[in-house]
Amino acid sequence: MKLKNKLYISFCIMVILPVLLSGLALGGLYCVQKESIERTYNVDDGAILVGVYSPIILFGKITDSIYKDMKTEVDTSPEQFTNKEYLDELSGELSSKMSCLVVRRNGIIIYNSTEAPDSEIVKILPDYSADEENVSDVGTYKGGEYQSLIKQLNFKDSEDNFYSVSIVTSLKQILPQVKTFIMQVIFVIIMVLIITSLGLTLWIYSSIVKPLNKLKLATDNIKEGNMDFEMPKVSNNEIGDVCRDFEEMRVVLKQSAEDKIKSDAEEKELIRNISHDLKTPLTAIKGYVEGLRDGIANTPEKQAKYIQTIANKVNDMDKLIDELTIYSRLDTNRVPYTFVRCNVSDYFGDCCEEIGTELEASQIELEYNDHLTEPAYMNVDPEQLKRVVNNIISNSVKYMAEGRQGKIKIDLYDEGDYIHAIFSDNGIGIAAKDVERIFERFYRTDESRNSKHGGSGIGLAIVKKIVEDHKGKIWAESVEGEGTTMHLNLLKAKDEENPENA
């Protein structure tokens, strides 16, 4: 998943999940504590709900049952309110309901279970008269610093003493269940927030840090030169994209490092080959020169032969150096091509005419078949393409089989986008194992090495480079002992480039 989407989802979860979980926890805890309040204080569901926003009503309700019992007691045996034991028992019950008991007789406090001294408690208790039986069933609220709810029973005993029994409930306190509820809610909210953010952080962490660690491992490997270290698979997000790009870069780097090793090796081989190919004629020249100097060539005929051989070897060297120069210029793209639109039939026709005259001297037959039915054009550098044709033909001449009439055939075909030129000879042919390699620089087959004809193994490398620079293709087919066929594909000029077809 994309990192952007993950962040978006995690933001939504961060907002929604804590609210949902906290809501659920709040509901559950409320039910538990509500039941506990109902059980402990004997109050109904409605009173608790009201108590949430009006604690006075809830505090009033929790002493209701005791207040009712006291009322019955007033009617049946009011003298009980002078009985210390009874009053202690009553105040014990009230203290579990978070309330205290105060009893006054004729205005004087005779029992006080509150923590406040009599002088203080008297200030908050409502006045009473024997006429009023009950001050209020609900209770009287005393605000200010006292914050108390007082339920009071006023009555007269048989001896005409005025009694006032008060239940004092301080509103400054909180029900233990409410306290627990608040603590639990705070705890749950904190836990939900911690768990949600921890979960989401881990989720995001795993999609950022894990792939970054893998990337770091890969860069460390590359730094140490280990180009074979493959980047492990990573998630499909933005960092994953970077990792995949990195892997592609590693492959390219590895390839270029391998290419560099290969080209270094090729360069060394090239130098070895050049030295070898120059050394061979030089050694021969040295030998013949020494032969002349030491008088081994003691007849004018021998001397002339030695000099001719020296001249031939010098020519070979000159040719080799020329070929090397051309190849090196082509290889480093220093040959400026001048592409010209040519009529294919005209171009190959002219070439064959030239070649034909040269071949006549070597008594080799040349057959030229132009199979084009319509005029076709190609964009080529005529001079460089001539080098290609001449090289192919000169090889055919060089590697002609002895003892049979040499034949060279050139066929020209129109094949859609390409012109297909086929050069076949009936020469010595090339072994199957060598056919693929003859276009490599300095590659020569064993037969050609042993032949009397000189050669550098560079000619076909030059041919291939020129053809490829023309966006064409060249390949060879050969049957050893029967002959060789060279196939040359050249791109045709597009119709719109061809004024005659327009």
Say how far residue 261 (Cα) sits from the centre of its chain.
Answer: 30
Residue 153, amino acid: L
| List 112, 169, 456, 489, residue binding ligand ADP (CB under 6 A) | 456
Under the criterion CB under 6 A, does residue 114 sit at the interface with ligand ADP? no
Minimum CB–partner distance for residue 382 and ligand ADP (Å): 21
Sole window of 125-133, 183-191, 211-219, 439-447 interacting with ligand ADP (rule: CB under 6 A): 439-447
Helix (H) / strand (E) element for 418: namely: strand 418-425
Residue number with CB closer to ligand ADP (104 or 444) = 444
Please give the Cα distance from 151 to 171 (Å, whole number).
13
Q: At a CB cut-off of 8 Å and minimum separation 6, what does 483 contact?
A: 424, 425, 426, 427, 429
DSSP 79: G
Q: Is 200 in the site for ligand ADP (CB under 6 A)?
A: no
Cβ nearer to ligand ADP, comparing 9 with 397 = 397
DSSP result, 310-332: HHHHHHHHHHHHHHHHHHHHHHT
Nearest CB to ligand ADP, comparing residues 277 and 414: 277
Residue 455 binds ligand ADP (CB under 6 A): yes
Cβ proximity of 147 and 139 under 8 Å: no
Contact 366, 408 (CB under 8 A): yes
Query: 387 vs 398, which CB is nearer to ligand ADP?
Result: 398
Which of residues 54 and 362 has its CB atom nearest to ligand ADP in the complex?
Answer: 362
Three-class secondary structure of residue 373 per DSSP: coil
Cα-trace Rg, the chain: 57
Closest distance between ligand ADP and the C-beta of residue 324, in Å? 12
**Does the protein bind ligand ADP through residue 281 (CB under 6 A)?**
no
Q: Within 471-490, which residues bind ligand ADP (CB under 6 A)?
A: 484
Other Cβ atoms closer than 10 A to 425: 25
Rule CB under 6 A: choose which of 41, 177, 425, 493 binds ligand ADP: 425
- Provide the minimum distance between the beta carbon of 259 and ligand ADP in the complex, in angstroms, as a whole number: 23
The answer to whether 51 contacts ligand ADP (rule: CB under 6 A) is no
Q: How many residues bind ligand ADP (CB under 6 A)?
A: 22
**Is 459 a binder of ligand ADP (CB under 6 A)?**
yes
**Touching ligand ADP, residues 57-96 (CB under 6 A):** none
Asked if 169 and 59 count as a contact pair (C-beta separation under 8 A), the reply is yes
Of the chain, the end-to-end C-alpha distance in Å amounts to: 55
Supply the minimum distance, in Å, between the C-beta of residue 486 and ligand ADP. 7
Is 445 an interacting residue with respect to ligand ADP (CB under 6 A)? Answer: yes
Could you tell me which of 99, 123, 97 has the C-alpha nearest to residue 109?
A: 123
457 binds ligand ADP (CB under 6 A): yes
288, β-bridge pairs: none
Site residues for ligand ADP, window 379-418 (CB under 6 A)? 395-396, 398-399
426 touching ligand ADP, by CB under 6 A: no
Q: How far is the CB of 402 from ligand ADP (least distance, A)?
A: 13
The pairs formed by 33-37 with CB atoms below 8 angstroms and a separation of 24 or more are 33/177, 33/178, 33/180, 33/181, 33/184, 36/177, 37/175, 37/177, 37/178
Q: How far is the CB of 442 from ligand ADP (least distance, A)?
A: 8
Choose between 244 and 398: whose C-beta lies nearer to ligand ADP. Answer: 398
Shortest distance in whole angstroms from residue 378 CB to ligand ADP? 23
Q: Do the beta carbons of residue 397 and residue 355 sit within 8 Å? A: no
Give the C-alpha separation, 43 to 35, whole Å: 10
What length is written for the chain?
A: 502
* Shortest Å distance, C-beta 454 to ligand ADP: 7
- Residue (334 or 449) nearer to ligand ADP, CB: 449
Which stretch in 11-19, 357-365, 436-444, 466-474 sits in contact with ligand ADP by CB under 6 A?
436-444
Tokens (6 digits) for 135: 């001050």
Stretch that binds ligand ADP, among 172-180, 249-257, 288-296, 442-450 (CB under 6 A): 442-450
* Torsion sign across C-alpha atoms 424, 429, 433, 434: negative
Contact stretch for ligand ADP (CB under 6 A) within 60-68, 188-196, 284-292, 459-467: 459-467
Residues binding ligand ADP (CB under 6 A)? 395-396, 398-399, 425, 427-430, 438, 443-445, 448, 455-461, 484
